Structure 1
């Protein structure tokens, strides 16, 4: 099974981040350093290489789902890192200390401030977990470029610990790094209809279905996707 196909399973991340969300299970992402989870436990962390499927990380033309919301706070920046730093300072009112170190530096009991863990980066998308160092992540920053190459940020809060995906309510792609593949049928052999970036949401209209060691939900206008990288929208 290829990397980033339908990322299976649930991982609670304590010494690394890369995160997964599964309905009805507590999700805790503690910010230390980056890592990843995949169908293949030996799979590498995503890099800036292009997504190797004939679908782009945007909503399908026929989709009725809601795409990633408008960037917040207002402003565009020359790099994704600048956008993250500005959001932490202006949007969260915190002190940005940069990338989360792998451990507490020698001689220091704690680091004060908010840090980030890069989940994915390409010329079209960058995603980060953001939160106080050594504590639970506050949410995910999805950073997108405009036509002029300036970057704007969308912040996705982590859902409440007791939140569950429910038919009739909305769910969003969350913690998928580059994108999550949607299919017309709930199995990994079905053709990929689209690959949606984090923050893309739609109404849950069917599921759950257990197949290929994955739990699947169907979102209106998008299709079936692994529950591991879907989160309820409150």
Structure 2
């Protein structure tokens, strides 16, 4: 396995800030848990934050898909993925099923798809565009491993404010039309992800009313 490491500058308004995107390791576990705690405060369920057993599985089973952004010597953002075999004609699944509840023990070395388990950025660093850089880095992993696509369920945390008036389908139509913005789905669209379908009961997530929009990025060097 070739280790992933990319040095670049991100911008705090007009000020360049040096950052490193690399594979995370056991030495980063405390920082990674802190990222989760700050990124997903209540009402997001605490039991869905990473624990060290899960993180140990990530770095042991698929280190290529476990990336973080380091600034000033500390991990401040992360993204985690696994390889799965995805059949487009059967898109429905839950987060727990496809990620083994975040433990990724179902990772398949022969999987055709890179599946995003989680992406998190500490709130104080979100203005630097780190999430988009992490997503771009996983696209590079897709190309390097010659996979068909990157795939993942996008939470819809903005839906809670509209669920009394709009169905999930109507809400997503407005997000895709640009008349509404969703904190997660709109971000993923900006990263180049495209919608596949809505999935009900994807995750225990009251803000999204338990829905998610399955979204993909297809490898431009493959025809699938």
The TM tier, using the shorter chain, reads: under 0.3
**Structure 2 length-normalised TM:** 0.26
Higher relative contact order (CA 8 A, sep 6+): 1
What is the TM-score normalised by the length of structure 1?
A: 0.25
